[in-house]
């Protein structure tokens, strides 16, 4: 019996050592951290749940969708460690696949025109549909518009646009919520009856509408957002290298938003001209909801 107990103790010690090392975030050469092996195994996929639906394609004039990406990579945690982030590729590209299949096309923009940053450690390398649209738009990701250019060139061309899309990924929390041009564009969409689409941490962009003491334009709206409570748990498996510098879902609640989800799940919701999703798991459902809603509502 004693030998059995010693053997079990040894197995538990080895398991603990393996868990410790597989749950440590990976330090990259530039000093930032990417998720641990355990986190990548639990939270990323090589192939998505994308459904290649044949929609009746949109035939009107309002065929353009502005997509606002982040150009920033490093998000500083409370412990000063840098999380190597950007836009989540699945959260960006799955909704865009559905919208493309529904007949819409994209204008790609970042705040200052620097290249789009993706969380490439989350890229689904075995998904041919995702790889195809990524490669199709690669030049636009490398040379996007800047938001000032868009404001100057397109605010008087409202009739060509159906929506503004802000993909998720923790990178959407860097600079975009503090960008006055983002606030101007979201107000432009809101005031001109265009749709606004976002998911996961992308709704951090909505905070830009409150800059300079402006009223939150989505007060009273139902929306799905990545929960702060889940972000607080992810350092335990090494997804984040520390606690988030600040939350998002509770901040939006404090501004009067009605957050409809409590988990990082596939929840999606449409409220008036706002279409949102809860997490990467909602990417396919958000794309379907956005495509069918725009086809029905955009004249």
Two tokens at 296?
């029905």
Residues in a beta bridge with 65: 106, 163
Count the neighbouring beta carbons within 10 Å of the beta carbon of residue 63: 18
**201, 248 contact by CB (below 8 A):** yes
* CA 274 to centroid of chain Cα atoms: 15
**Which backbone phi and psi does 62 adopt, to 5 degrees?**
-90, 65
Two tokens at 298?
């955009």
- Half-sphere exposure at residue 267, Cβ-oriented, CA atoms within 13 angstroms: 16
DSSP state of 177: G
Residue corresponding to tokens 């000063």:
80
**Which of these is catalytic: 102, 200, 244, 269?**
200
Distance, in Å, from the CA atom of 220 to the CA atom of 236, rounded to the nearest integer, reads: 34
Distance, in Å, from the CA atom of 177 to the CA atom of 148, rounded to the nearest integer, reads: 16
Three-state secondary-structure class, residue 195: strand
Closest CA to 210 of 188, 189, 182: 182
Task: List Cβ neighbours of 232 (8 Å cut-off, separation of 6 or more).
Answer: 243, 244
Two tokens at 245?
């510098």
Distance, in Å, from the CA atom of 154 to the CA atom of 160, rounded to the nearest integer, reads: 9
48 in active site = no
Q: Which positions are catalytic?
A: 200
């Amino acid at each position: 019996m004693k030998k059995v107990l010693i053997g079990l103790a040894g197995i538990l010690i080895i398991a603990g050592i393996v868990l410790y090392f597989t749950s440590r975030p990976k330090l990259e050469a530039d000093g930032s951290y990417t998720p641990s092996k355990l986190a990548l195994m639990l939270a990323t996929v090589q192939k998505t749940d994308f459904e290649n639906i044949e929609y009746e394609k949109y035939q009107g004039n309002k065929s353009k969708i502005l997509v606002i990406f982040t150009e920033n990579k490093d998000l500083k945690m409370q412990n000063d460690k840098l999380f190597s982030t950007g836009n989540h590729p699945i959260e960006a590209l799955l909704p865009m696949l559905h919208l493309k299949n529904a007949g819409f096309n994209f204008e790609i923009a970042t705040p200052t025109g620097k290249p789009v940053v993706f969380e490439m450690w989350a890229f689904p390398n075995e998904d041919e549909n995702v790889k195809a649209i990524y490669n199709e738009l690669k030049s636009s990701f490398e040379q996007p518009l800047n938001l000032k250019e868009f404001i100057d060139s397109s605010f008087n061309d409202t009739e060509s646009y159906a929506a503004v899309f802000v993909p998720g990924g923790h990178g959407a929390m860097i600079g975009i919520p503090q960008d006055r041009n983002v606030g101007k564009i979201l107000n432009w969409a809101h005031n001109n009856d265009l749709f606004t689409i976002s998911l996961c941490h992308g709704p951090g962009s909505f905070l830009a509408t409150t800059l300079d003491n402006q009223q939150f334009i989505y007060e009273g709206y139902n929306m799905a957002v990545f929960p702060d409570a889940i972000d607080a748990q992810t350092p335990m498996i090494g997804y984040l290298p520390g606690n988030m510098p600040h939350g998002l879902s509770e901040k939006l609640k404090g501004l009067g938003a009605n957050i409809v989800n409590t988990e990082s799940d596939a929840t999606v919701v449409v409220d008036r001209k706002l279409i949102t999703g809860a997490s990467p798991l909602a990417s396919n459902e958000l794309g379907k909801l956005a495509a069918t809603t725009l086809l029905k509502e955009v004249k």
